[in-house]
Structure 1
Amino acid sequence: MADLPLELVRTLLAVVDEGTFDAAAAVLHVTPSAVSQRVKALEQRTGRVLLLRTKPVRLTPSGEAVERFGRQVARLERDAAAELGMAGAAGPTILPIAVNADSLATWFLPALAEAAAGREGLAFDLHREDEDHTAALLREGRVMAAVTSSPRAVQGCSVRPLGRMRYRAMATPAFAARWLGGGPLPEALPGAPAVVFDRKDGLQDTFLRSVAPDREPTSARHAMPSTEAYLEAVAYGLGWGMIPQLQAGTHPAAAGLVELAPRHPVDVPLYWQQWRLDSPALGDVATAVERAAAAALER
């Protein structure tokens, strides 16, 4: 990518960030025609279509590669300028990071606090996403690092294991007596209402397959796309749910819950993926994340 003019790459980033050519033109203080010409010139350089001209625009896979390159170069430029004390380098060092909701609600924030305490001017732009989908944000260049469930490194990234997030199936005693007291758990559970985080949440199905491999779920499912609302929904008896072990013994909403199958926890392996950049700030965060994960997660 050494022959890609950075002005053209920065223009592509502006279009992606703003969503349209007109909006990017306003940010760059040029005409929409100039923006269009720069993007076309970049596509001619690469020999690939980089943008789908929709509203908002969408990157093609080739465009994602160029975007990732551009954001990495921008990060290196900012780090170098800060180390050299150059004019215009003042301001916070912003690190965009993707993390799943349960990690964010339990062990992840202490890691960020540790990293921020050791480096002045560090700011975080957190993207909450399911651990099975955070890697997509890395591939798109939207974040510099992510907590993910994938051990396969995204192109241009390094990966290291963090540990296993353990979940336990829990419900209120009254819910268990009403829905699960009439027979063996493998027979009763598939028909009992469940609480899920969102449509991407597969933990309940994973647990069901472990205790009732021959049964299909037939129950209602309540989607609660908030960690607090999820716990409270289970505590109110709306359904059974998969509660992080880190919250099961400490969170007030989980205090009265009972475990449905103690021998069948569900473990989700977590990994830290980050851009392969010699960024001191990113290195500090990675060290703090590994330390926090070692203290909180299952090995």
Structure 2
Amino acid sequence: MMNPQWLRTFVALIEQGSFTRCAEHLDLTQAAVSQHVQKLEERLGPLLIRRPRQLELTPAGRALLSYCEEVSAADQRLHKRLSEHDEEHGEIALICPGSIGLVLYPMLLEVQRATPGLSIRQRFAPDREVLEAVLENRFELGLTTLKPDDPRLCVSRFTEEPLELIAPASERVEGWDDLKRIGFIDHPDGRAMGSRLLSRYYPEAPGIGSLPCRGFTNQIGLILEPVARGLGFTVLPRYARLAFQRPASIQVIQGPRLVEDTLWLIHRAEWPLSARAQLVAQKLKTQIEGLGE
């Protein structure tokens, strides 16, 4: 195995672009830098073409640089594996739908504030992307609205999330004609969610396609803004409404039947969750179950 110090010097030399800057960066003499490169070249052949104010890698040099990158990546993976039993240090990586994500993110930040050794990485994504990210081990934890049927995944119930009909607080909504007068604020899942909910609330009505569309946005955190300003109503999962900062400006229209989805917590089944992920998942689940209306 090649001397790790020689490899570090070689990588630093390529990054710094000169022997002088490399020596300053590593707090070594230029002679020491030259000696480390010479030792590597004695084993591997010429690694560099030295030109005025420029260093050019030979094919052997490019191969060695690629090897150094692989060693660095393996070192990072080793440190990550060794930290799996540590509840207070490391990364918490969660990918989930936007609605539940709006509520979970502040909770995650509070966990991080209480445990500064943790690093929070959260991404909002549809079910398909959540599944891919967890299966490819890019995120340790995921939440989906559809229960996956894949033996590579461990799946458990996280919580229930009802759909809600949300209208401006200033409007009186007593029936379908009121919704038609107010108009619909659409979003990427708006038509599908609206059809599911409104068909239960108003089974005799002609359907969401007959309602005028008053606006559209694909940003989950902004969908309720036009509703709060009296520009239309919408249909959203409850957690998106709970995360809205001006609840007094909107109202939830109750219906005869509850329409809800189960949110499923997923992670790879082949290896156990890290201790920090187990702890955070349990904390989030407890807090979500304790949320009121």
Distance (Å, rounded) in 1 between the aligned partners of 2:252 and 2:148: 33
Match for residue 49 of structure 1? none
> Is contact 1:231–1:253 with CA below 8 Å preserved after alignment?
no
Match for residue 81 of structure 2? 80
Cα distance change on mapping 1:282 and 1:153 into 2, 3 Å: farther
Distance (Å, rounded) in 1 between the aligned partners of 2:85 and 2:238: 46
Q: Which amino acid aligns with 2:98?
A: A
Q: Which amino acid aligns with 1:281?
A: R
Distance (Å, rounded) in 2 between the aligned partners of 1:148 and 1:74: 32
Residues 71-96 of structure 1: CA deviation (Å, up to 9, x unaligned): 9x9986333344799xxxxxx62333
- Offset of 1:220 from its aligned partner? 1.7
Residues 200-258 of structure 1: CA deviation (Å, up to 9, x unaligned): 77322221222244623133263223344212111112221125545757845331333
Q: Does 1:101 align with 2:92?
A: no
Residues 12-42 of structure 1: CA deviation (Å, up to 9, x unaligned): xxxxxxxxxxxxxxxxx847xx89xxxxxxx
Q: Which amino acid aligns with 2:188?
A: D
Q: Does 1:160 align with 2:160?
A: no
Tell me, which stretches of 5 or more residues in structure 2 are unaligned? 1-60, 68-72
Q: Does 1:291 align with 2:281?
A: no
Q: How does 1:20-99 map to 2 (within 5 A)?
A: 30=62, 77-82=78-83, 93-99=90-96
> Is contact 2:158–2:264 with CA below 8 Å preserved after alignment?
yes
Q: How does 1:169-248 map to 2 (within 5 A)?
A: 169-172=165-168, 176=171, 184-185=175-176, 189=179, 193-198=183-188, 202-213=192-203, 215-216=206-207, 217-218=209-210, 219-220=212-213, 222-245=215-238
Q: Which amino acid aligns with 1:235?
A: A
Match for residue 118 of structure 2? 122
Distance (Å, rounded) in 1 between the aligned partners of 2:147 and 2:191: 19
Cα distance change on mapping 1:224 and 1:266 into 2, 3 Å: farther
Match for residue 110 of structure 1? 107
Determine which of 137, 142, 150 is the counterpart of 1:146: 142
- Offset of 1:164 from its aligned partner? 0.9
Distance (Å, rounded) in 1 between the aligned partners of 2:232 and 2:250: 11
TM-score normalised to structure 1 length: 0.58
- Offset of 1:169 from its aligned partner? 0.7
Aligned length: 220
- Offset of 1:271 from its aligned partner? 1.4
> Is contact 1:204–1:241 with CA below 8 Å preserved after alignment?
yes
Sequence identity of aligned pairs in percent?
A: 13
User: 94-103 vs 257-266, which deviates more?
Assistant: 257-266
Larger radius of gyration: 2
Cα distance change on mapping 1:95 and 1:156 into 2, 3 Å: farther
- SS of the aligned residue for 2:218 comes to coil
Cα distance change on mapping 1:228 and 1:199 into 2, 3 Å: closer
Q: Does 1:280 align with 2:280?
A: no
> Is contact 1:98–1:147 with CA below 8 Å preserved after alignment?
yes
Cα distance change on mapping 1:153 and 1:289 into 2, 3 Å: farther
Q: CA RMSD in A?
A: 4.0
Runs of 4+ in 1 over 6 A off after TM superposition: 73-76
Q: Which amino acid aligns with 2:217?
A: M
Distance (Å, rounded) in 2 between the aligned partners of 1:192 and 1:287: 41
Q: Which amino acid aligns with 1:167?
A: L
Distance (Å, rounded) in 1 between the aligned partners of 2:265 and 2:158: 6
- Offset of 1:267 from its aligned partner? 1.7
> Is contact 1:116–1:123 with CA below 8 Å preserved after alignment?
no
